[in-house]
Chains A and B, each alone.
Chain A
Amino acid sequence: MDSLDKFKNILSSLDELFLRKDIQKVSNSDHLINDLGLDSLARVSIVFELQEELNLNIEESEASQWKTVKDILKVIEKSH
């Protein structure tokens, strides 16, 4: 399973947060705000879910810098 599939898999239970696109159609280059419609509350949910599932510690300052899905995938890749 590649990082993008893992991303979709982990966050599939939060599909309703993705206002502009279904999570299964998300691609690496999608902008978190403009393409996916994720707001600040949604971002907190995503950070929390990734931390729980991947046993990671993600700093708020790090998450606030994420612009695209690719930025999140880098975090997932680090957890391998």
Chain B
Amino acid sequence: MKKITLNLTNSNPEHAPPEKFVKTLENHFSIHDFNIMTSLENKDLLTDADYILGWALPIVFLKRNLNLKEIFLFSSQVPESYLKLNTTVIDSKGVNSQFVVNYIKEALPSNWSNKNILILGKGHIGSLLDSNLQSKKVRVLTRSPKKPNESNYSHFSREISQADIIIPTLSLSRETSKLFSQEDFFSHLKADVRIINTTRGKLIEEELIYKFFSTHEKAFYHTDVTDPEPYPSQGILRSLKNCTITNHIAGFGEGYWEKLLDRILVKTQDWI
């Protein structure tokens, strides 16, 4: 019998799975010691688990489990800190991509087809968004971080300064978290730029966002991601009139949990 822990610990109430999803997993793994963790107070459920599935956990709890064979993450991005683990980590990349793209399309202004749109990054969501928009005014900006002049956005100031709408689709890492600097990014933005962010709250420094949008009233910041989540009522972005904040809902369109369940059942066949 294997020990499997389903981690549902998540501070965002929007990310709670439906009962049917949990029941199906309980039944699926019923021949094993299957446990559900809903709070870090039950972190003992992680210490000797063979397999963990669910939301990302603080790395410190995973490092201490020398028994851990595999992790299945509900998120599409594996935290950079997980890369040093001696454990296979399966992400759920692609499960929510179309939902995120649909959300972005709804966040676009009605006259978007006349606007210069700059998509930053050509991963799963960047490519899908590009193919969904099908506009000649869409430009996808990709970099090769190893090239000296592409390690940041200083080389792309022309593209950034011409964009009416900017949509980052980059994953969060040590490398990408430094891209959105005052010098290389914010100083080149159009005064009425619209930024739509569905990536990670940590990707763009909040103080720089506030500084730009509080001094450019015609610009607009539409974000689905903040840190922390849910975003606190006293957070500085709340004071901006030209900012919309949603509570990390972009990837959770109708049918998301069913798609995720299908992915889990396929990817965890070896766990049974």
- The interface of chain B, by Cβ under 8 A from chain A, is 11, 40, 56-61, 63, 79-81, 83-84, 172-174, 177-178, 201-202, 205-207, 227-228
5 A-B interface contacts by CB (under 8 A) = A17-B81, A19-B173, A33-B206, A42-B58, A44-B40
> A16-B81, A16-B83 are known contacts. Are A48 and B61 too (CB-CB below 8 A)?
yes
CA separation between A42 and B174, bound complex, in Å?
14
**B228 to A40, Cβ gap below 8 A?**
yes
| B-side contacts of A37, CB under 8 Å | 174, 177, 202
| B-side contacts of A19, CB under 8 Å | 80, 172-174, 177, 202
Count, chain A residues at interface, CB 8 A: 17
**Interface check A45, CB cutoff 8 A:** yes
**B206 to A17, Cβ gap below 8 A?**
no
| B-side contacts of A17, CB under 8 Å | 59, 81
**Nearest chain B CB to A6's CB is how many angstroms away?**
17
**Nearest chain A CB to B231's CB is how many angstroms away?**
12
**A49 to B60, Cβ gap below 8 A?**
yes
**B174 to A13, Cβ gap below 8 A?**
no
> A33-B206, A37-B177 are known contacts. Are A16 and B80 too (CB-CB below 8 A)?
yes
**B84 to A41, Cβ gap below 8 A?**
no
**Nearest chain A CB to B43's CB is how many angstroms away?**
8
| A-side contacts of B228, CB under 8 Å | 40
| A-side contacts of B227, CB under 8 Å | 33, 39-40
Interface string of A4-19 (1 = CB under 8 A from B): 0000000001101101
CB-nearest residue of chain A relative to B59?
A: A45
**Interface check A67, CB cutoff 8 A:** no
> A19-B174, A19-B177, A19-B202 are known contacts. Are A42 and B63 too (CB-CB below 8 A)?
no
**A45 to B177, Cβ gap below 8 A?**
no
CA separation between A43 and B40, bound complex, in Å?
13
**B177 to A41, Cβ gap below 8 A?**
no
**A20 to B80, Cβ gap below 8 A?**
no
